[in-house]
Amino acid sequence: MDFVTGLLQSKDHDAIWVVVDWLTKHRHLAMCSTTVDIHDLADLFLQPVFRLQGLPQTITSNRGPQFASEFWHHLCALLGIEL
């Protein structure tokens, strides 16, 4: 997952969140803002990505391991999975 930032403001959105499935190369794009938090990203993930791709085995992001860990914890909490 990665963010495309520095875009022109469109309503409340100024970034695009890109999620790519490494196996199928299927990509998911979601409009967001640069101030989006982990809770909102986990919610965004459930709609298009989880519904079509399922739960990921790994999460790779350029935002560092802390971001991926916190995202994983929030996603599991939304799904009712205890870690």
Residue 80 pLDDT: 92
The tally of domains found in the chain comes to: 1
Q: Which residues of the chain have pLDDT under 70?
A: none
Residue 74 pLDDT: 92
Residue 23 pLDDT: 83
Residue 5 pLDDT: 87
> Is residue 13 classed as helix, strand or coil in its secondary structure?
strand
Residue span of the structural domain in which 18 resides: 2-79
Give Cα separations from 50 to 12, 60, 78 (angstroms): 24, 16, 12
Contact 70, 83 (CB under 8 A): no
Contact 6, 33 (CB under 8 A): no
Calpha distance 34→45 (Å, rounded): 16
Residue 54 pLDDT: 80
Residue keyed to tokens 């997952």: 1
Residue 58 pLDDT: 83
